[in-house]
Amino acid sequence: MFRNFILISFLFLLSACAGTGTKSIPVSITKPNNTNDVALYFSRPSVYVGGGIIPTIFINGSEVGKLGSGEYIETIIPKGSFNIELKTQGLNSIGMIGTTLTGNGSSGSRFFYIVSMRSGLLTSTWVITETTEQGFKNSQK
């Protein structure tokens, strides 16, 4: 009985460490197919400290995905203003402070962001840094 409890607890904790992003960044990043759309790319470098804490990305209030360590997420949104929000959910959210960023995308534009964590004594904060396409690709090396 106790062994089953330990096994179930272990599986629960492991599932909290998995993101929904992709591990390998494509060699060529193209513009959105629809010229009225905007492409947003998020990358999180592979880290040891805080690697098991998974931020959830929200765009204009809708969840886009969970960004694990060493992963990237691509999403397409309509042109115009947008609001990016990073939150940590569940037990991992204790001591984590989310962050927001706003932007305005014109037709066919692309935005590249690197997501990192700034650790403090009692709290940690998510940081979103805008970068270039090359900086985005280099963030996974």
pTM: 0.78
Neighbours of 24 (CB within 10 A): 9
- pLDDT tens track for 66-83: 998 889 999 999 999 999
Q: Domain extents for the chain?
A: 2-138
**54 within 8 A of 18, measured Cβ to Cβ:** yes
- pLDDT tens track for 15-37: 444 565 555 566 566 677 777 89
In the predicted structure, residue 11 carries a pLDDT above the cut 90: no
Residue 90 has what DSSP assignment?
A: G
35 three-class SS: coil
What whole-number percentage of the chain has pLDDT above 90? Answer: 38
